[in-house]
A and B are shown apart, each in its own frame.
Chain A
Amino acid sequence: AQKITQTQPGMFVQEKEAVTLDCTYDTSDPSYGLFWYKQPSSGEMIFLIYQGSYDQQNATEGRYSLNFQKARKSANLVISASQLGDSAMYFCAAHYQLGGSEKLVFGKGTKLTVNP
């Protein structure tokens, strides 16, 4: 069974500092993808960054980067220069395909609070 583990229920960071949100995954599939989504209090899921299992380089999108360590099955999100607007829930998810179907499997999330 596919499983995503986010071990940090909550994280605090000072504005303008960097923060790392942890994510480990469990899969035996040779091909998979890893996502990070942000969910503000308003509820919408906002795509942040994607890493494919065969990608050689770690993904980066602006202030977001993904520290992908395949051997350790970890895909941590690094947010640089935190802003007050970064306060939200952050979900790590894995994309799985089986037969003709596909889905995202999410972790339980980490609540990030950015302090001024």
Chain B
Amino acid sequence: DTGVSQDPRHKITKRGQNVTFRCDPISEHNRLYWYRQTLGQGPEFLTYFQNEAQLEKSRLLSDRFSAERPKGSFSTLEIQRTEQGDSAMYLCASSYRGDGSYEQYFGPGTRLTVT
């Protein structure tokens, strides 16, 4: 069990460019979450997958954001036409309810800077 991994760890992009982040959850975890954390704030929920189905999208997730989990394993989060306000840490988490636990295991995050 290597934990939740995210790639890249850091991304610097120019305003207007598209970026894509990847999250690999813990292998047996069927639930996957994306959160966004801006400076001085707690993480804010963006979206939730159970297996490959995206069951909830936050209103924070504008039309420029799209997330997928094509085979119920890894997930990608794409931001199109990035804006300076998108600069944040993007956190991925996964969980497995089979043991009755609600704990979400977090990855190290992808820090996005939009210049």
Interface residues of A (CB under 8 A from B): 4, 33, 35, 37, 42-47, 50, 52, 91, 93, 95, 99-109
Whether the Cβ atoms of A45 and B106 lie closer than 8 Å is yes
| List of A residues within 8 angstroms of B35 by Cβ | 104
How far is B111's CA from A59's CA once the two chains are assembled, in angstroms? 33
Which residues of the other chain, B, contact A107 by a CB distance below 8 angstroms? 42
For A105, give its contact among B45, B102, B111 (CB under 8 Å). B45
- How far, in whole Å, are A107 and B106 apart by their CA atoms in the complex? 16
Contacts of B101 in A (CB 8 A): 50
Could you tell me how many residues of chain B have their Cβ less than 8 Å away from some Cβ of chain A?
26
A43 and B108 in contact, given A91-B42, A101-B55, A105-B45 (Cβ under 8 angstroms): yes
Q: Is the CB of A108 within 8 A of B43?
A: no
Tell me, in angstroms, the Cα distance from A91 to B40 when the chains sit together.
Answer: 11
A47 with B44, Cβ < 8 A, contacts A101-B56, A103-B56 known: no
Are B102 and A95 in contact, with the CB atoms below 8 A? yes
Given known pairs A44-B108, A101-B55, A101-B56, the reply for A108 and B103 (CB within 8 Å) is: no
The chain A residue sitting closest to B53, CB to CB, is: A100
* B33: Cβ under 8 A from any A Cβ: yes
B104 interface hit (Cβ, 8 Å): yes
How long is the Cα–Cα vector from A44 to B43 in the complex, in angstroms? 11
Cβ A108 vs Cβ B55 within 8 A? no
* Contact A104:B43 (CB < 8 A) given known A44-B108, A50-B103: yes
Q: Give per-residue flags for B7-45: 1 if the beta carbon is below 8 A from chain A beta carbons, else 0.
A: 000000000000000000000000101010000111111
Nearest-Cβ distance from residue A5 to partner chain B, whole angstroms = 11
B residues less than 8 Å from A44 (CB atoms): 106-109
B33 touches A43 (CB 8 A): no
- The interface residues of chain A lying within 8 Å CB-to-CB of B80 are none
Please name all residues of chain B whose beta carbon is closer than 8 Å to the beta carbon of A95 when the two chains form the complex: 102
Q: What 1/0 mask marks residues of chain B from 84 to 106 whose CB sits below 8 Å from any chain A CB?
A: 00000101010000000111111
CB <8 Å contact, A104 and B45: yes
